[in-house]
Every structure is written in C-alpha cells, then in structure tokens.
Amino acid sequence: MAEYVQVLTTVDSEDDGVRLGRGIVDARLAACVQIVGPIRSLYWWQGKVDDAREWLLVIKTTAEEYPALEQHIHANHSYDTNEITDTPIAAGSAEYLGWITEETRQSGAS
C-alpha cells in the first residue's frame, strides 16, 4: 500500500496560490490542493518579527511523489525561503486514499 502525505506551503496572494496549486495538480504531483486564506502569519525574518497575510496550500499526495512535488514548489514559488512541510497521513478512508493514488499515478512518473 502507498504511503500518503499532506504537504503544506504558504504564498503571499490568492492568485499565487491558484497558480502554484494549478501547476501542481496539472502535473499530477498531487490529487488535490486546497487553498485556505487569508491567514495571518507572525514569524521571524531577517532579524525582526514580520506580520503578513498569506494563503495556505494543503496538498494531498503520495510519499513517492514528494521529491518531484518539492522540486516543483522550489522552481515555481515566489519566496526566497519557502515553507514546505510533509506530514504523513497515518490513516484515512480506503476510498479517499485510493483516489489519491489513482490521480497521482496518471502522470506516468510513478
């Protein structure tokens, strides 16, 4: 059985989220990208605390697709240092996890 992951990244506008998310789904690097926002992010950047409005991309894919997904995000993201975190999905409905597998396999890369 495939291993499943949920990957998070943030962007600075809804348009960037749609552009990045569409590219990920079109490339079949993930079965689904949800864009949540706006959210408010407080974080350290270049020696000071920044307060920014961002959009969160919640990406559902397989562990096998993660390396290509990470590369795609790096190549198409506007931030110098972009958040990319991968959290294993420990359990889920068989139908949903099967759908993730089926949709990412369509790329022919897996």
State pLDDT tens for residues 39-90: 999 999 999 999 999 999 999 999 999 999 999 999 999 999 999 999 999 9
Place of tokens 């348009």: 15
Distances (CA, A) of 84 to 31, 72, 93: 17, 11, 25
State pTM to two decimals.
0.92
Helices and strands, number each (H, E), in the chain = 3, 4
| CATH number, residue 26 | 3.30.70.120
Predicted pLDDT of residue 1:
46
- Number of domain units in the chain: 1
Radius of gyration from C-alpha coordinates of the chain: 14
- Alpha carbon of residue 11 to chain centroid: 11
State pLDDT tens for residues 1-46: 469 999 999 999 999 999 999 999 999 999 999 999 999 999 999 9
**Residue 39 domain flag:** yes
Range of the domain at 46: 1-57+73-80
Q: Pairing mode, if any, of strands 4-11 and 32-45?
A: unpaired
**Residue 1 domain flag:** yes
